[in-house]
Amino acid sequence: MNRRQVLAAILAVPAFAALAGPAWSGSRLPFDAAAFSEAQAIGAPILIDIAADWCPTCRAQKPIIDSLLAAPGNETLLVFEVDFDRQADVVRAFGARSQSTLIAYRGKVETGRSIGDTRPNSIAALIQSAVAP
């Protein structure tokens, strides 16, 4: 399945139907367990971004991730945001112990994880672990 087919499949899922159109590309989604499961089921590349509003490292990661989302080849990447303070159950389910945790998946397979990383090249490598076939 190529990237366009993956994107079409994602947008065909009811949880993603509202995301159809240009607003979807390069955007972030609030974490939703059903949407995450659907994305995993179709083999989508996923980045879980566990962040807190008060965290300076999280604030430093955000523009790096946003610029990588806009980069060619990352069009099918889904970024699910998890609020470290308000979604403690989700944070625990992912086995995260701190904010500024990034977890990459290709479908149901975790391809990498980083904590507190603000280096653009290593965040790009983490994303590529999910996006690259």
Question: Mean pLDDT lowest for which of 20-24, 55-59, 71-75, 126-130?
Answer: 20-24
What average pLDDT does this structure show over 92-117? Answer: 97
Instruction: Tell me which residue has tokens 């995301």.
Output: 19
Residue type, 61: Q
How high is the pLDDT of residue 133? Answer: 77
pTM for the whole thing? Answer: 0.81
Selection from 104, 106, 102, 103 nearest residue 133 by Cα: 106
Confidence band, pLDDT 50/70/90 cuts, at residue 28: confident
CATH code for residues 3-131 = 3.40.30.10
Among 132, 126, 4, CA closest to 64: 126
